[in-house]
Structure 1
Amino acid sequence: MIEKLKSHYGFTKTPFGRALAPQMLHRHGTHAEAVARIGWCISERGLGVVTGEVGAGKTVAVRAALANLDTSRHTMIYLGNPAVGGRGLYGCIVTALGGLPRFHKATLIPQTMDLLAAEEHERGRITIIVLDEAHLLDAGQLEELRLLTNSEMDSHSPFACLLVGQPTLRRRIKLGTFAALDQRITLRYAMNGMTDKETASYIAHHLKLAGRSDTLFSDDATALIHQVSRGLPRAVNNLAVQALVAAYAAKKAIIDESSTRAAIAEVTTE
């Protein structure tokens, strides 16, 4: 099917794919601001909280921000599975920094802090810890993060930490239970959906990457995709691909409103 779609529309590659190099990403407003703020948080070696609905482009923005950094001066640690528990967080960091995690937590915590400090003082590198799906972190893990950021008596931090998750993360941290962690947050940014003009530009951008710089989606089709997706990039991708399939099945050269409605019915039907 993919090859048939490419042939029908004259694409040189599959459009609306996920595997894009950072320099090929669409620079709409909320994405560009998130990238800039994340970069600033890293430079300050702070604790950042980036939230947004599913498909808002949080991880994409983090990836773009990290791509702007000098890899010889930064060490990236990505933790995408909160289910590892509190001890697991420390163990993953120690392993990523080349250590063998100690068995007892009482010695694992200082081991983690020592390795983070050594990465900076001995290797001249700043560690960046990214915790994805951070809304799934339990209370114990959030407390462990507070302890981890409580290094060198608040005078200096050898690393930056980014918590990336759904809006519930922001609300949880605001609870009085996590007041100490909340006070340490350097960056708070909530990613919203694109505007209608940005959605149109986003669709055109991805089609151009696939080899079509002319108008392929009608204005009505684009407006409908924006309305249903609420401007969330992942939802736009899914609807646009399904609209391409629907128009292909109907032997249409242009994706019109009726093809888009057929795509929406396909995507939203249980």
Structure 2
Amino acid sequence: MSISNLQSHYGFTTMPFGRSIPVQALHPHPGHREAVARIQWCVAQRQTGVITGEVGAGKTVAVRAALAQLEASRHQVVYISDPTIGMRGIHTAIVTALGGSPAFYSGVLAHQTASLLAGELDERARLPVVVIDEAHLLGNTELESLRMLTNTGMDTGSHFALLLVGQPTLRRRLKLAVLAALDQRISTRFAITGMDLPETADYIRHHLKFAGRSDTLFSDDAIAEIHQASRGYPRAVNNLAVSALIATYASNKAIVDVSAAQSAITENSE
């Protein structure tokens, strides 16, 4: 069975529950809206922010939605998806994104990074927005180095916005005494939790409507099963919903019922 067969069977104009959904069509459930608002405030105030959540909670999706609304001519986004490249790798990524040629020596490179971040705002009137995804993988030394980048002066604001995005362990680690100086610099922090049942139901219907189906395709019982198994986390909801659609197609049924949802849950738990 191909995706085109599945799409044709249900009369979808596009496949629902995929990653390719445009930013403007994302489902605005409360946790997502709150995260986007916090990120936007962090950027506007040139502050350090922390967004945490379990795997699949929608952290990166919220970041993508918030950054998409920034005025491109006034912001320079530096997105680092893999912080295991170390502090030298992070400095190099920032310098390269800002049009510089990274220095060889680490000490010089750190100074170069700070200078380019300041220059981007002071000379080009563009605010750098440094986003580090999977930030729970950063070591204490690297987190402290990031704090030093924001340490531009006693009374002056930072020359850039810093956003750390990661799993809940990041939030807990920042409370360690060794990271107290960084923790005190964090102006906004938000933990994205799973959706409740009504929000999950609305999420599923929103994606189906975007794909061209405004009628009832998932039964209430099926949605309840998917919600319970996914704990309301969007990525798990997506995976289970697609599997339930496939199970329904294979059974030659018109509605995704509770048996299709249970089949999807079993398949995804193996």
Q: For this structure pair, what is the TM-score category when the shorter chain's length is used for normalisation?
A: over 0.9
The Cα shift of 1:124 comes to 0.4
Alpha-carbon distance between aligned partners in 1 of 2:250 and 2:102, rounded to the nearest angstrom = 55
The Cα shift of 1:154 comes to 5.0
In the other structure, the counterpart of 2:232 is 231
The answer as to whether partners of 2:15 and 2:211 remain within 8 angstroms in 1 is: yes
For residues 53-105 of structure 1, what are the alpha-carbon distances to aligned partners after superposition, in whole Å with 9 as ceiling and x for unaligned? Answer: 00000011011111111111000000011111111111110011000111111
Alpha-carbon distance between aligned partners in 2 of 1:154 and 1:65, rounded to the nearest angstrom = 28
User: Where do 1:85-124 residues align within 5 Å?
Assistant: 85-124=86-125
The Cα shift of 1:191 comes to 0.2
Alpha-carbon distance between aligned partners in 1 of 2:265 and 2:70, rounded to the nearest angstrom = 39
1:26 aligns with 2:27: yes
AA aligned opposite 2:252: K
Alpha-carbon distance between aligned partners in 2 of 1:147 and 1:157, rounded to the nearest angstrom = 11
The Cα shift of 1:196 comes to 0.6
Tell me the TM-score normalized by structure 2: 0.98
SS at match of 2:79: strand
Tell me the TM-score normalized by structure 1: 0.98
In the other structure, the counterpart of 2:140 is 139
AA aligned opposite 1:113: A
Alpha-carbon distance between aligned partners in 2 of 1:51 and 1:266, rounded to the nearest angstrom = 28
AA aligned opposite 2:257: D
In the other structure, the counterpart of 1:195 is 196
For residues 183-224 of structure 1, what are the alpha-carbon distances to aligned partners after superposition, in whole Å with 9 as ceiling and x for unaligned? Answer: 110111000011111100100010111111100000000011
Alpha-carbon distance between aligned partners in 2 of 1:209 and 1:3, rounded to the nearest angstrom = 17
In the other structure, the counterpart of 2:212 is 211
**Paired residues, what number?**
269
The answer as to whether partners of 2:150 and 2:159 remain within 8 angstroms in 1 is: no
User: Where do 1:225-264 residues align within 5 Å?
Assistant: 225-264=226-265
Alpha-carbon distance between aligned partners in 2 of 1:219 and 1:170, rounded to the nearest angstrom = 36
In the other structure, the counterpart of 1:170 is 171
1:125 aligns with 2:126: yes
In the other structure, the counterpart of 1:69 is 70
1:148 aligns with 2:134: no
Alpha-carbon distance between aligned partners in 2 of 1:107 and 1:152, rounded to the nearest angstrom = 19
Alpha-carbon distance between aligned partners in 2 of 1:116 and 1:87, rounded to the nearest angstrom = 16
Aligned CA-pair RMSD: 0.8
SS at match of 1:254: coil
Alpha-carbon distance between aligned partners in 1 of 2:129 and 2:53, rounded to the nearest angstrom = 21
Question: Once the two structures are aligned, what percentage of the paired residues are identical?
Answer: 62
Alpha-carbon distance between aligned partners in 2 of 1:256 and 1:115, rounded to the nearest angstrom = 57
For residues 139-177 of structure 1, what are the alpha-carbon distances to aligned partners after superposition, in whole Å with 9 as ceiling and x for unaligned? Answer: 221111111111133522110000000000000111111
Alpha-carbon distance between aligned partners in 2 of 1:250 and 1:212, rounded to the nearest angstrom = 20
Alpha-carbon distance between aligned partners in 2 of 1:130 and 1:215, rounded to the nearest angstrom = 39
The Cα shift of 1:107 comes to 1.0
Q: Which 5+ residue runs of structure 1 have no aligned equivalent?
A: none
Alpha-carbon distance between aligned partners in 2 of 1:254 and 1:154, rounded to the nearest angstrom = 62
Alpha-carbon distance between aligned partners in 2 of 1:239 and 1:152, rounded to the nearest angstrom = 50
Alpha-carbon distance between aligned partners in 2 of 1:191 and 1:88, rounded to the nearest angstrom = 28
Alpha-carbon distance between aligned partners in 1 of 2:130 and 2:254, rounded to the nearest angstrom = 47
In the other structure, the counterpart of 2:54 is 53
Moved beyond 2 Å, runs of 4+: none
Alpha-carbon distance between aligned partners in 1 of 2:269 and 2:63, rounded to the nearest angstrom = 29
1:159 aligns with 2:160: yes
Alpha-carbon distance between aligned partners in 2 of 1:63 and 1:18, rounded to the nearest angstrom = 12
Alpha-carbon distance between aligned partners in 2 of 1:127 and 1:211, rounded to the nearest angstrom = 39
